Structure 1
Amino acid sequence: MTPSPPIVVCPPEERGGRRVLLDGQEIGRAFSLYDLVELLTGAGLDAAATEFEDTSVFEWRGGGPYSWQGSGQGT
């Protein structure tokens, strides 16, 4: 069994933004990659050196790193 990536970015919500989980704990909501970097940096990670498409680190649910709008607001 392969371990889950430590960072999960949940699907875009209707009101915008995506919940971000680090090791199963919610650390906030991101509305862009910039917000995601800020959340991860605040959690003590070196987000500047992170490859957002690295599936060993990130699990993107409901869209990849460039999808931030809820379905009611466009994509």
Structure 2
Amino acid sequence: MSAPVVIHRPSPTGGRRVTIRGQIVGLARNDHDVVEFLRRAGLPGAEALLDRPDWVDWRGGRAHEYVAA
């Protein structure tokens, strides 16, 4: 089973697209944005989920970095 939350590679203009269960929920420019998207999706304790690979799949870059290299 794959993680329900995917934080995609940083875009060239900054930020990362976030999807929850395949639905795009927004463009995050920092961890606070991701936590807010998860909270709006009804996921309690969202801050604790960011470093859990069973919940969040960070793709195409280091976790917690939002600027393209």
TM-score, scaled to structure 1: 0.82
Q: Which letter maps to 1:22?
A: I
Q: Deviations over 1:10-66 (max 9, x none)?
A: 000001000001001111110000111111111111114x23221111110012332
**Which residue in the other structure is 2:24 paired with?**
26
Q: Give the % identical residues.
A: 37
- What aligned pairs does 1:37-56 form with structure 2 within 5 A after superposition? 37-46=35-44, 47-48=46-47, 50-56=48-54
Q: CA RMSD in A?
A: 1.2
Decide which structure has greater strand share: 2
Aligned residues: 68
Partners of 1:51 and 1:25 in 2: how far apart? 18
Structure 1 contact 33–65 (Cα < 8 Å) conserved: no
Gaps in structure 1 of 5+ consecutive residues: none
Farther-moved stretch of structure 1 (6-15 vs 37-46): 37-46
Partners of 1:39 and 1:64 in 2: how far apart? 19
Partners of 2:42 and 2:63 in 1: how far apart? 20
